């Protein structure tokens, strides 16, 4: 997709692929053929630059044909560079400029629980770790804790990179688990590329109903592509066609052994 679009972000989406595979393939209560289903769980992508992995998860679970993935960032495509909720059924939010997704998620969670009387409907908000630099995230974190939004689950892609370098050099996040706990959240810290651990973490968070939960998912940016893994310079660029061939071969080989 990214090679074809010739612009976009590579490392983040690859690192998050296991998380979205579990969510869209297992945890989310949803009907891809009926995106507006009123009993659905809600997934919001707050770190919108990782849109390619969301599109891939949606296509592979039946929201739209997988062929359409190759239209990413083309004129007229429903697959905008950053998610655009009015462009594609199933997208719940618009994002790109960072930091606003958790507020939307808190609003969703509160409305379905308190006005609709449906605390069983869960709202998931995916965030990047660099995104936590934005103050808006912490405004929402306080709000969700105040109203004990137990049906809100945040997921932080803890990959330790952002555009200008390592997160701990650009703006240190330090004890992230401690920060969220202090803000009143239930915290689960996992290997975000371990399928079983992701499943278990989501189940645990769903059992916590008197406070919001956050999964700190430690992921490998560029996961599965040896030349991209852990390299922050791959945050905002795309592979050449030769590099893309190597990446697809590596991912395919790993997929066959997993």
DSSP state for residue 78 in the 8-state scheme: S
CB 73 within 8 Å of CB 8:
yes
Q: Which of 96, 107, 119, 184 binds another protein (CB under 8 A)?
A: 96
Q: Which of 7, 34, 66, 182 binds another protein (CB under 8 A)?
A: 7
Residue 67 binds another protein, judged by CB under 8 A: no
Give bridge partners of residue 126 from the DSSP assignment: 45, 155
Residue 243 binds another protein, judged by CB under 8 A: no
Residue 40 binds another protein, judged by CB under 8 A: no
Number of chain positions touching another protein (CB under 8 A): 34
Query: Is 235 buried (19+), middle (13-18) or exposed (0-12) by CB count in 10 A?
Result: buried
CA distances (Å), origin 63, targets 42, 87, 101, 111, 197:
14, 13, 21, 25, 26
The CB-of-134 to another protein minimum distance in angstroms stands at 6
The CB-of-196 to another protein minimum distance in angstroms stands at 32
Distance in angstroms (rounded) separating the CA atoms of residues 111 and 63: 25
Give bridge partners of residue 146 from the DSSP assignment: none
Tokens at residue 23, please? 């969510």
Residue 166 binds another protein, judged by CB under 8 A: no
Residue 158 binds another protein, judged by CB under 8 A: no
Residue 142 binds another protein, judged by CB under 8 A: no
Residues 6+ apart with CB under 8 A from 194: 18
Segment interacting with another protein, rule: CB under 8 A, options 3-11, 20-28, 202-210, 243-251: 3-11
CB atoms within 10 A of CB 140: 28
Q: Which of 13, 32, 99, 154 binds another protein (CB under 8 A)?
A: 99
Closer residue to another protein (CB): 6 or 181: 6
The CB-of-256 to another protein minimum distance in angstroms stands at 29
**Residue list 103-132, contact with another protein (CB under 8 A):** 130-131
**Residue list 177-206, contact with another protein (CB under 8 A):** none
Strands (E), 16-91: 42-45
Residue 164 binds another protein, judged by CB under 8 A: yes
Residue 6 binds another protein, judged by CB under 8 A: yes
CA 169 to chain CA centroid, nearest Å? 23
Residue 82 binds another protein, judged by CB under 8 A: yes
Residue 98 binds another protein, judged by CB under 8 A: yes
Long-range contact list for 197-204, CB < 8 A, 24+ apart? 198/18, 198/19, 198/22, 199/22, 199/26, 199/27, 202/22, 202/23, 202/27, 202/153
Residue 240 binds another protein, judged by CB under 8 A: no
Residue 97 binds another protein, judged by CB under 8 A: yes
Give the footprint of another protein on this chain (CB under 8 A).
4-8, 48, 73-77, 79-82, 84, 94-99, 130-131, 133-135, 162-164, 169-171, 236
């Amino acid at each position: 997709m990214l090679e074809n679009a010739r612009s976009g972000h590579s490392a983040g989406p690859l690192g998050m692929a296991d998380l979205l595979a579990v969510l869209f393939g297992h945890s989310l209560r949803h009907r891809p053929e009926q995106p507006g289903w009123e009993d659905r769980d809600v997934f919001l992508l707050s770190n919108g630059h990782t849109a390619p992995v969301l599109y891939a998860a949606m296509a592979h679970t039946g929201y739209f044909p997988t062929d359409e993935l190759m239209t990413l960032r083309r004129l007229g495509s429903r697959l905008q560079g950053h998610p655009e909720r009015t462009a594609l059924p199933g997208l719940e939010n618009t994002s790109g400029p960072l930091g606003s997704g958790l507020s939307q998620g808190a609003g969703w969670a509160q409305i379905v629980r308190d006005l609709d009387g449906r605390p069983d409907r869960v709202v998931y908000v995916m965030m990047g770790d660099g995104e936590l630099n934005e103050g808006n995230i912490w405004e929402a974190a306080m709000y969700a804790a105040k109203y004990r939004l137990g049906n809100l689950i945040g997921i932080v892609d803890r990959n330790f990179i952002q555009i200008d370098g390592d997160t701990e050099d650009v703006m240190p996040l330090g004890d992230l688990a401690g920060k969220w706990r202090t803000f009143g959240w239930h915290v689960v810290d996992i290997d975000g590329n371990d399928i079983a651990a992701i499943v278990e973490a989501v189940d645990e968070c769903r059992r916590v109903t008197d406070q919001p939960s956050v999964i700190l998912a430690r992921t490998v940016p560029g996961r599965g592509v040896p030349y991209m893994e852990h390299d922050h310079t791959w945050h905002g660029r795309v592979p050449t066609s030769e590099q893309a061939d190597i990446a697809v071969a590596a991912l395919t080989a790993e997929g066959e052994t997993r």
